Structure 1
Amino acid sequence: MLSVDELLAQGLKLSPSTGYEDTEFIRPLTALVGALNTEANLNTAGVAFHQSRLQGLLQNRKALEDWTEKHPEIAEESLVAPIVIVGLPRTGTTLLHRTIATDNSLMAPLWYEVRQPAPMNSSFVSDDARIAIAKAEVDAMLAAMPGLAAIHPIDAVAPDEEIMLLEHSFTSTVPECYACIPEYGEALYTQDPAASYNYLHKMLQFLQWQKRQKGNQGLRWLLKTPHHLHYPQQLFQTFPDAVVIQTHRHPCEVMPSYASMMCELAAPFTDSLNKQTMAAHWVKKWQQGLAATQHYRDLHPEAPYLDLQFQDSIREPEAVLSTLYAFAGLELNEQTRQSMQRWRTFNQREARPEHHYTAEEFGLDNERLNAQFAPYITRHIDC
């Protein structure tokens, strides 16, 4: 069993301080621990995994407090007009994100930074010990989940999702990836997302300050996570000058692949994973996310959204990038184009193992998915 008190104590273990300045996170942490203890049916490995992950998140929170106390200028970092990629998972968001991140005028959060936002010591500018730790963690994940390499590219030093920064507020969708906890996931919608987005802003300030110390002079953040589909209003309240790129692909192509990924992530941590229950949970969750974003867009037609079709990104990447850059007010020069082309050349999907799955093993079929996502399909999918 996981213990909130034990986790809180472990979170302070690496800090000279004896308490947390901000304790607003304790209530959502308590709810998450309760769900993991009662709903997730964790096995021994699952308890150990979540114990370690939650403990690490708390240590990261405390480290941010300690670093900000030593360097109050962190809170003065200005985040200018971030470019935010959203869309259903499996719609090319990672491909788009990592392609654009080759542009040196932009900043993207890297995997090791979102997993461990605080440097381990003051020498991080010349010798960042987090990178070796992150590489070891990636290797361990791929060893425990051998099918993951075929589903999603994980690289310790590549751009990745800020969802792992939101995870530090204990109100993100990350725990639902590693445990089947649909009741907890539904209850998240009753919680105010303001605290988690305010903390995301604070963490991006911290990462931006670190990047400046390392000589990175990128002007704008390039962010990406499907999580923002659920909370568009909070996204714009936190980043009022953001521009959003929403990617689209038919849910019948997306949902079986995503269900396979979620089951691959959760399987090592329970002895009783029901694939169909897991799949149904995520189908409902992404229905809700798409509906939330569409509702916001209907109420705010002036909101800066650019819609991109997955197939266009594959067939006509140059045209898509030109459209995106014009929309975001960026200059796409020849040097940047060449950097993007080199990245695509050396990171083709064919270089990774094939991803094998069937819709039937997750209880999914096209007729039902077409009905469930009918409003979205009618509005955004070119059939």
Structure 2
Amino acid sequence: MAEQIRIDDLHAPVLTEAQQGIMAFAEQNPVELRVEVVLDAASAATGLSDFGPDDFKERLAVWLEEIDGDPNRSAYTRMLTFMLSVKYASSRLRIQDLLSRHPEIHDIEITAPVVVTGLPRTGTTNLVNMLAADDRFRSMPLWEADEPVPVHGEGPGPDGVDPRFKRCQEAWETFQVTNPYLAAWHPMSPEHIDEDMSLMQLDFSSYYFESLVQMAPQWRDHYLSHDQTPHYEYLKTVLKVLTWFRGPQRWVLKCPQHLENLGPLMTTFPDATVVVTHRDPVGVVQSFATMLAYTSRMGYVKPDVGAIFEYWSELVERFLRSGIKDAHFVPEGQRVDVYFDRYMADPIGTVAEVYRTAGIEFSDQARDHIQDYIDSHPRDKGGSMSYDIRADFGTTPEELRKRFDFYLARYPVASEVK
């Protein structure tokens, strides 16, 4: 039986010794959140200077201003924002350098990907990892998403392991120090299949920044006011880069963000098979808000649990309304709707339906590989979180569920939170 985990200090956080140490280190090593400083650091780290089209600088500036202009943000959030911005800018430089040396990469075709989307916490991660167990698919493990292009001149070590894998493993171990519940919420080991928004982050445009810093209203408003199609084109370009290194195969992709970007998604990948997951949105909000309320103890000087709960209630509503409004962008024969309770009861049957819709033979070998994945990754392997929406957020499941009547009337998901 999975370990039951209950966080009972959301409103009066008690930091672990390791968390206190990280916070102290950030206080003692302040960073400057300016675009020029980030880009100079990325150039120094890579020895490169060509970032490609410079429109990304405006979006990077919004990210940095979101944090720099808020005195309630902790030194840790400032450091995290700076370090990740440098990391993304460095990957962007390496991608641009590779494309300039190998322009033939642009000619690679990305054909008929299978794209999994749906709210966070609805089984998207599990489903994409199951599909990726079939080695006929090309998928993106976290270590590769973290650093799509190898450092120039750097190859596998004496043990044959890619240094990018080792760096990703070290980062995973650090993340678990800052958040000891991360393995229960969202495993991020190097071999775990990652979300393709990791590649859009290199263009400094995705909803990820909202979850990274718990709330980002300034960035949210900028993001929602701009057409995301160019950033989906950037995603496609980086998929071509990854295919050039290791391919060609049919891609399997996954990201909750696609639910509110079905237009840009289908413009970029018109032959995609889109798999949409459905689950009780009350459970989604409860889980995600708890996770981000926990991480806010390091993200803010004075965390506001209620504000985080309201922000993510609004975000879930935003995703669902967009997904319904834009559903027509996905042709009927290219869409599969997956209900969480039925999926958990019959994962192989769910996968078989995806294969039928995508026109892929569900071979015995594929079935065996996927079953092996299921057997070796039992649900709640990292522990099972215990939630209390009433005690933690001062509302009831019934009250929150009313907010999603428009969605529940269309998609008959089972109520999970009583």
TM-score, length of structure 1 as denominator length: 0.93
Distance 1:329 1:231, change over 3 A: same
Q: What is the deviation of 1:18?
A: 3.4
Amino acid at match of 2:164: R
Q: For structure 2, which runs of at least 5 residues remain unmatched after alignment?
A: 1-31
1:75 equivalenced with 2:106 (yes/no): yes
1:324 equivalenced with 2:354 (yes/no): yes
1:256 equivalenced with 2:286 (yes/no): yes
Tell me what 2:187 maps to. Answer: 153
Match of 2:144 among 108, 113, 124: 113
- The separation in 1 between residues aligned to 2:413 and 2:81, in whole angstroms, is 41
Tell me what 1:304 maps to. Answer: 334
- The separation in 2 between residues aligned to 1:164 and 1:269, in whole angstroms, is 21
Q: What is the deviation of 1:375?
A: 1.1
Q: What is the deviation of 1:363?
A: 4.1
Amino acid at match of 1:344: I
Match of 1:210 among 224, 245, 255: 245
Match of 2:250 among 211, 215, 220: 220
Distance 1:241 1:300, change over 3 A: closer
Amino acid at match of 2:111: V
- CA distances 1:274-330 after superposition (whole Å, capped 9, x unpaired): 122112111111211111121112476647221110011110112212111101111
Tell me what 1:290 maps to. Answer: 320
Tell me what 1:102 maps to. Answer: 133
Preserved contact between residue 178 and residue 266 of structure 1 (Cα < 8 Å): no
Tell me what 1:37 maps to. Answer: 68
Match of 1:63 among 83, 87, 94: 94
Q: What is the deviation of 1:122?
A: 4.5
Match of 1:130 among 149, 157, 164: 164
Task: Select between 12-21 and 144-153 the one with higher mean Cα deviation.
Answer: 12-21
- CA distances 1:13-35 after superposition (whole Å, capped 9, x unpaired): 13444343320101111111111
- The separation in 1 between residues aligned to 2:395 and 2:94, in whole angstroms, is 43
TM-score, length of structure 2 as denominator length: 0.86
1:188 equivalenced with 2:218 (yes/no): no
Preserved contact between residue 86 and residue 229 of structure 1 (Cα < 8 Å): yes
Q: Aligned-pair RMSD on alpha carbons?
A: 1.9
Amino acid at match of 1:374: D
1:373 equivalenced with 2:404 (yes/no): yes
Q: What is the deviation of 1:124?
A: 4.3
Amino acid at match of 1:225: C
- CA distances 1:224-259 after superposition (whole Å, capped 9, x unpaired): 110111111000111111110001011122210111
Amino acid at match of 1:241: D
Distance 1:233 1:364, change over 3 A: farther
Q: What is the deviation of 1:127?
A: 4.6
Preserved contact between residue 169 and residue 195 of structure 1 (Cα < 8 Å): no
SS of the residue corresponding to residue 154 of structure 1 reads: coil
Amino acid at match of 2:40: A
Q: For structure 1, which runs of at least 5 residues remain unmatched after alignment?
A: none
Preserved contact between residue 274 and residue 330 of structure 2 (Cα < 8 Å): no
Instruction: Give the percent of matched residue pairs that are identical in Structure 1 and Structure 2.
Output: 25
Q: What is the deviation of 1:333?
A: 0.9
Tell me what 1:238 maps to. Answer: 268
